[in-house]
């Protein structure tokens, strides 16, 4: 992760550092091998030996290390950067005293300042440059140099100039990188907000609700449960038709405002659809909360100089009684809401006995067309007799399904149309 304590301490993201480290190694290692060969051919054996030792001990181990491993170990990346600088310092010191091919070694030394700032940032990079300069000053009286005292004296201010140039260029680079990262972070946060919130009411949407439920379930797996309340506001289409979509949107915003006033932390409110909302909170006793929420939402609204009243239907599901996953909890709360609409009773708590949906019913529905084509539906007539005079007064016709694997399926289950199973009897 990038740091933002100050501009001087800013560090690029780890992935970017690994990429630049690998890129430097890929360029430097072949070039260093070539320079060692040329120096050896020109008789600079000590310099060539230093370059080969640095290549083998400092550069090659990092080059062969996989990027995935470096990404998992930030400390290893820091050690690799420092090892690269240490090897570079050894080579540049050797260039000062050996001179290199045609005495051009001194011209390469300013590269160290750019490398130090680039790899380790402003603060630590300056420390590396000071240590490098101190090492050169300490060794000069003891080791013979290929350059005269006058040449070295003239090089010193030039080196200071290059250090200043490296400092300014790297500071500018880091400032731009920090600004760019800040913009990316802000836009990412904005996009995430848009992806997880309803644009009209600014309430969290279905995706955000599922994420919240997932986090809440993980957090409370061994503690208290979680209650999910689904709310449907009826008469919404009628209000849209009478007062227009603009006023309908205004009504939705007022509903959202009431939900937000109700849903103080840790309660969480969301909009799931046109006139569907959800509220979830810790605990497994949500009936009182649902009644209070219903009373709050059914208070009159002032829209377009009119007083508007709405009706709500509420379905409730609890974790872990009614589901161990966010999807199951939401599905069962939706079934409870549908039952509340059907029997016009609200709030309605989910019950397995009242669930009209099952995998078996879905499977039978898929097989029904084949059953009709293969004459598997049988018609039975059941007479109705008057007990008063033992007279036949009516005949009830029922369809039974002779299923090839499940046997005779009763009338209540033999017609799995997508409606109330009670209406399947003929």
Tell me, yes or no, whether 166 and 240 share the same domain. no
Q: Which domain-ending residue is among 144, 163, 191?
A: 191
Do the beta carbons of residue 262 and residue 271 sit within 8 Å?
no
Do the beta carbons of residue 409 and residue 400 sit within 8 Å?
yes
pLDDT digits (tens, 9 = 90+) for 328-386: 999 999 999 998 988 888 899 998 766 666 666 777 777 888 888 888 888 888 888 88
pLDDT at 243: 86
pLDDT at 358: 63
User: CA 351 to CA 335: how far, in whole Å?
Assistant: 9
Judge whether residue 401 has pLDDT over 80.
yes
| Domain annotation covers residue 235 | yes
Contacts of 247 by beta carbon, 8 Å cutoff, 6+ apart: 239, 240, 303, 304
Judge whether residue 155 has pLDDT over 60.
yes
Structure tokens at 159: 């080196």
More confident site: 424 or 150: 150
What's the average model confidence in pLDDT over 126-139?
A: 94
Q: Which domain-ending residue is among 354, 389, 405?
A: 354
Tell me, yes or no, whether 246 and 331 share the same domain. yes
What's the average model confidence in pLDDT over 197-209?
A: 95
- DSSP label of 11: B
Indicate the burial class of 369 (C-beta count within 10 angstroms; 0-12, 13-18, 19 or more). exposed
User: CA 415 to CA 368: how far, in whole Å?
Assistant: 8
Tell me, yes or no, whether 285 and 419 share the same domain. no
Instruction: Using DSSP, state whether 198 is helix, strand or coil.
Output: coil
Do the beta carbons of residue 172 and residue 164 sit within 8 Å?
no
Phi, psi of 30 (to 5 degrees): -65, -40
Tell me, yes or no, whether 187 and 58 share the same domain. yes
| Domain annotation covers residue 2 | no
Judge whether residue 219 has pLDDT over 90.
no
Closest among 110, 89, 90, 96 to 148, alpha carbons compared: 96
Q: Is the pTM of this model over 0.75?
A: no
Tell me, yes or no, whether 380 and 415 share the same domain. yes
Average pLDDT over the chain, rounded to whole? 86
CA pseudo-torsion sign 343, 336, 284, 257: negative
Closest among 27, 407, 365, 334 to 35, alpha carbons compared: 27
pLDDT at 217: 85
Tell me, yes or no, whether 148 and 127 share the same domain. yes
Judge whether residue 1 has pLDDT over 60.
no
pLDDT digits (tens, 9 = 90+) for 75-127: 999 999 999 999 999 999 999 999 888 889 889 999 999 999 999 989 999 99
Tell me, yes or no, whether 312 and 326 share the same domain. yes
String of b and e for 150-174 (b: at least 16 CB within 10 Å)?
eeeeebeeebeebbeebbeebbeeb
Tell me, yes or no, whether 46 and 151 share the same domain. yes
Instruction: Using DSSP, state whether 79 is helix, strand or coil.
Output: helix
| Domain annotation covers residue 81 | yes
Helices 111-139 and 14-41 meet at what angle, rounded to 10? Answer: 60
Judge whether residue 14 has pLDDT over 70.
yes
In this structure, what CATH number is given to the domain that contains residue 269?
3.30.70.270
| Domain annotation covers residue 332 | yes
CA 48-54-55 angle, to 5 degrees, is 85
Tell me, yes or no, whether 57 and 182 share the same domain. yes
Among 218-232, 259-273, 281-295, 302-316, the range scoring the smallest mean pLDDT is: 218-232
pLDDT at 9: 60
What's the average model confidence in pLDDT over 305-316?
A: 91
| Domain annotation covers residue 242 | yes
Integer Rg of the chain from CA = 39
The count of domains in the chain is 3
- Tokens 């304590």 locate to 5
Do the beta carbons of residue 160 and residue 172 sit within 8 Å?
no
Tell me, yes or no, whether 326 and 226 share the same domain. yes
Indicate the burial class of 315 (C-beta count within 10 angstroms; 0-12, 13-18, 19 or more). buried
CA pseudo-torsion sign 95, 100, 106, 112: negative
| Domain annotation covers residue 38 | yes
Domain residues for the domain of 393 are 359-423
Q: Give the DSSP H or E segment for 124.
A: helix 111-139
Judge whether residue 423 has pLDDT over 50.
no
Q: Around 4, how many Cα atoms within 13 Å sit in the side-chain half-sphere? A: 10
Tell me, yes or no, whether 313 and 404 share the same domain. no
Q: Which domain-ending residue is among 338, 354, 370?
A: 354
Banded model confidence at residue 411, pLDDT cuts 50, 70, 90: low
Cis check: omega of the bond before 347, within 30 degrees of 0: yes
| Domain annotation covers residue 1 | no
User: CA 112 to CA 128: how far, in whole Å?
Assistant: 9
Closest among 27, 50, 243, 278 to 143, alpha carbons compared: 50
Tell me, yes or no, whether 225 and 137 share the same domain. no
User: CA 187 to CA 192: how far, in whole Å?
Assistant: 8
pLDDT digits (tens, 9 = 90+) for 35-70: 999 999 999 999 999 999 999 988 888 888 888 888
| Domain annotation covers residue 5 | no
Q: Please spell the DSSP secondary structure of 141-194, one letter per residue.
A: TTS--SS-HHHHHHHHHHHHHHHHHHHHHHHHHHHHHHHHHHHHHHHHHHHHHH
More confident site: 389 or 166: 166
User: CA 422 to CA 411: how far, in whole Å?
Assistant: 9
Phi, psi of 280 (to 5 degrees): -135, 145
Do the beta carbons of residue 279 and residue 259 sit within 8 Å?
yes
Indicate the burial class of 419 (C-beta count within 10 angstroms; 0-12, 13-18, 19 or more). exposed
User: To the nearest 10°, the Cα dihedral for 30, 36, 38, 40?
Assistant: -160
Judge whether residue 417 has pLDDT over 60.
no
């Amino acid at each position: 992760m990038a740091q933002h304590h100050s501009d001087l301490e800013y560090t690029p993201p780890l992935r970017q550092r690994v990429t630049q480290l690998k890129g430097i190694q890929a360029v430097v290692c072949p070039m260093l091998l070539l320079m060692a060969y040329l120096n050896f051919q020109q008789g600079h054996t000590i310099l060539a030996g230093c370059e080969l030792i640095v290549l083998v001990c400092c550069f090659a181990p990092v080059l062969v290390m996989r990027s995935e491993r470096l990404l998992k170990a930030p400390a290893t990346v820091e050690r690799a950067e420092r090892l690269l600088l240490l090897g570079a310092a050894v080579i540049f010191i050797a260039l000062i005293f050996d001179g290199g091919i045609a005495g051009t070694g001194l011209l390469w030394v300013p590269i160290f300042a750019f490398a130090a700032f680039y790899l380790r940032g402003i603060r630590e990079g300056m420390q590396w440059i000071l240590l490098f300069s101190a090492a050169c000053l300490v060794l000069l009286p003891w080791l013979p140099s290929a350059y005269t005292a006058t040449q070295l004296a003239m090089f010193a201010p030039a080196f200071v100039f290059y250090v200043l140039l490296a400092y300014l260029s790297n500071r500018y680079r880091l400032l731009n990188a920090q600004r760019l990262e800040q913009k990316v972070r802000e836009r990412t946060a904005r996009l995430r907000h848009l992806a997880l919130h309803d644009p009209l009411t600014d309430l969290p949407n279905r995706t955000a609700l599922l994420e919240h439920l997932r986090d809440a379930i993980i957090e409370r797996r061994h503690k208290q449960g979680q209650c999910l309340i689904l709310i449907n506001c009826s008469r919404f289409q009628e209000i849209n038709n009478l007062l227009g979509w603009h006023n309908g949107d205004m009504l939705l915003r007022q509903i959202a405002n009431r939900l937000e006033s109700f849903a103080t932390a840790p309660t969480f409110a969301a909009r799931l659809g046109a006139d569907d909302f959800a509220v979830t909170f810790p605990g497994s006793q949500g009936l009182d909360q649902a009644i209070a929420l219903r009373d709050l939402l059914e208070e009159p609204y002032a829209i377009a100089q009119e007083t508007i009243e709405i009706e709500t239907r509420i379905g409730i599901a609890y974790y872990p009684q009614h589901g161990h996953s966010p999807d199951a909890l939401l599905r069962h709360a939706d079934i409870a809401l549908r039952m509340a609409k059907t029997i016009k009773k609200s709030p309605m708590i989910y019950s397995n006995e009242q669930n009209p949906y099952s995998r078996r019913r879905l499977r039978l529905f898929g097989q029904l067309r084949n059953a009709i084509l293969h004459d598997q539906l049988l018609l039975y007539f059941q007479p109705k007799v008057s007990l008063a005079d033992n007279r036949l007064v009516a005949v009830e016709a029922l369809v039974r399904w002779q299923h090839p694997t499940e046997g005779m399926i009763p009338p209540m289950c033999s017609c799995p149309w997508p409606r109330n199973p009670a209406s399947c009897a003929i």
